[in-house]
Amino acid sequence: MKVRALRIFIPRAIKRWLPQSLFARTLLIIVLPVAIMQGLITYLFFDLHWQAVSSGLTDSLAGDVVWIVETYEQDPGGLPRLADRAERALSLSVAFKPGETLPATRKQAYFAPEDRALEAALERKLDRPFWFNNRSYNSWVGIEVPVEGGVMRVYAPRERAFAASGWIFILWMGSATLLLTAIAILFIRNQVRAIERLAEAAEAFGKGVEGPEPFKPYGAREVRQAAQAFLSMKARIQRHLEQRTVLLASVSHDLRTPLTRLKLELALAEPSASGEAMKRDLSEMEHMIDEYLDFARGEGAEAVESTDLAALLAQYCDDARRTGASVALEVPAGLSAPVRPNALKRALDNLVSNAVSHGKTVQVRAGATASGGVEIVVEDDGPGIPEDRYEEAFKPFSRLDESRNQNRKGVGLGLAIARDVARSHGGDVSLGKSALGGLKATIRLPG
């Protein structure tokens, strides 16, 4: 029986706001539960422990205030003795303000639970109005109660009213959170970096670029396994490419020897119409062998270098015009990109040769793209290719000719070679309808 992985349903509206990178998502997975857990612990601490401790302290302070008020009302003349006893025994400062009334408003404390705890205690103990100030004094709490002839004002130290452990708890909790988050960021960054390096190595291999230092697997066990699999795949692909190139090079060498003998014999033979036809066949065979080798070799060993594309395209178009082709060039001065110059010229040669062989007018344009890459466009005014056969045109040895007419020069590798070159740079080649009426081939290269 197949076991399907459990998928958590997340609305699309929420997904848009979630981080996209692995580093941010992993950090969210770790930090969010810790933050929720610490929030719950903090809430329970203040709701149970801190409230219970503070309730006992405020009840005691409220009882002392009630004792002071009632003692004064029983013996108003004994206020000096009452104040002295309250100062020595209870650490309370007592003062009578004759003719004053309670303030109309009260400032709220920065920490609201303190106000609620003290207000609840005074309401339970006192049967008359009261006013207190928990904000204006850093180390004291002021409480005022109306009595006959004025207001009795009592100042109490904050530790008599509230538990000081609450702020210490928050400080330790916050410090621990910051420390654990910093450690988590360091560990996550190290693991994500291993995956990023693997992705960079894969992308560089896809472009045929070797970094300054060889890629070495590191990180978690699963990441190292993926890196080892990548290196094994890379080695197999490289062996396959080398074997293909060596095989075709050997075939080419073996074929060129009898071709050279045939050309020599034809050169020494008496001139005739059949001899000229045989020379044309030999030339076509040499061209076919060269095209096979170009397709197999692919310029994988050529180094990538920053190249002035404007100068390279201008030189290539001049060379094409000397062969009698009508080629117009439109490229901004100073356009450059990191490419393999010979491989790119081979791709352009195949695209322009196709355009020249099928049309009378060829236009080459180049320019930078919004993403920082480069786009090279080759257009002609020939018959073009049906849109539904664009991808078929890129297949090796595909000539889009059911009869495979060999009267036309070429073996159907031009577009395949151009796409192979573009993809080895990390780009691609696409076909479309030209504004001139024929075919438009576009090479897109990354920056």
The residues spanned by each domain of the chain are 22-163, 303-445
Task: Name the burial class of residue 25, with classes exposed (0-12), middle (13-18) and buried (19+) by CB atoms within 10 angstroms of its CB.
Answer: middle
CA nearest neighbour of 336 among 328, 344, 327, 347: 344
Which residue would you say has higher pLDDT here, 250 or 352? 352
What's the pLDDT at 2? 45
**Mean pLDDT over each residue of the chain, to the nearest integer:** 78
Q: How far apart are CA 40 and CA 47, in angstroms?
A: 10
What's the pLDDT at 437? 85
Average of pLDDT values for 89-107?
Answer: 84
Average of pLDDT values for 282-288?
Answer: 75
Where would I find the beta strands (DSSP E) of 42-139? 93-98, 131-133
Which residue would you say has higher pLDDT here, 233 or 303? 233
Residue 289 φ then ψ, to 5°? -65, -45
Classify 336 as helix, strand or coil: strand
Which residue would you say has higher pLDDT here, 119 or 442? 442
List pLDDT tens digits, range 354-407. Answer: 888 888 888 898 988 888 888 999 998 888 888 888 888 887 766 665 433 444
Q: Which residues contact 149 (CB under 8 A, 6 or more apart)?
A: 98, 99
List pLDDT tens digits, range 420-442. Answer: 888 878 788 888 888 888 889 99
Q: How far apart are CA 179 and CA 31, in angstroms?
A: 12
CA nearest neighbour of 382 among 363, 402, 409: 363
What's the pLDDT at 303? 72
The region of weakest confidence among 79-88, 116-125, 137-146, 271-280 is: 271-280
pTM, rounded to two decimals: 0.48
- Give the chain's radius of gyration (CA, Å): 44
Q: How far apart are CA 145 and CA 130, in angstroms?
A: 5
Q: How far apart are CA 160 and CA 117, in angstroms?
A: 13
The alpha carbon of 66 is separated from its chain's Cα centroid by a whole number of angstroms, namely 65
Composition of the chain by helix, strand, coil, percent to 5: 55, 15, 30
Average of pLDDT values for 75-88?
Answer: 88
What's the pLDDT at 401? 52
What's the pLDDT at 351? 86
Q: How many Cα neighbours within 13 Å face the side chain of 295?
A: 22
Query: Which residue has 């405020």 as its token pair?
Result: 58
Q: Is the pLDDT of residue 3 over 50?
A: no
Average of pLDDT values for 40-51?
Answer: 71
**Residues 365-402, buried b or exposed e (16+ Cβ, 10 A)?**
bbeeeeeeebebbbbbbbebbeeeeeeebbeeebbeee
CB 439 within 8 A of CB 382: yes
Which residue would you say has higher pLDDT here, 267 or 212? 267
CA distances from 408 to 272, 288, 322, 350 (A): 23, 12, 21, 14
Relative to beta strand 428-433, strand 140-147 is unpaired
Q: Is the pLDDT of residue 290 over 50?
A: yes
Record the tokens describing residue 52, joined without a space.
């219970």
What's the pLDDT at 5? 47
What's the pLDDT at 328? 87
Query: Which residue has 């293909």 as its token pair?
Result: 244
CA distances from 45 to 109, 175, 237 (A): 20, 17, 62
CA angle 365, 370, 373 (to 5 degrees): 65
Query: Which residue has 């409480």 as its token pair?
Result: 143
Pick among 3.40.50.970, 3.20.20.80, 3.30.565.10, 3.90.230.10: CATH of 303-445:
3.30.565.10
What's the pLDDT at 298? 54
List pLDDT tens digits, range 120-143. Answer: 888 888 888 888 887 767 778 888
The alpha carbon of 337 is separated from its chain's Cα centroid by a whole number of angstroms, namely 24
What's the pLDDT at 391? 83
The region of weakest confidence among 252-256, 262-266, 329-333 is: 252-256
Q: Is the pLDDT of residue 170 over 50?
A: yes
Q: Which CATH architecture is the domain 22-163 placed in?
A: 2-Layer Sandwich (3.30)
Average of pLDDT values for 311-324?
Answer: 80
List pLDDT tens digits, range 200-244. Answer: 888 777 766 666 677 888 778 888 888 899 889 988 887 887 777
Classify 303 as helix, strand or coil: coil
Q: Is the pLDDT of residue 112 over 50?
A: yes
What's the pLDDT at 49? 67
What's the pLDDT at 347? 84
Percentage of residues in the chain having pLDDT higher than 90: 1
Average of pLDDT values for 151-173?
Answer: 77
As beta bridge partners, residue 379 has 363, 440
For 188, the enclosing helix (H) or strand (E) is helix 165-207
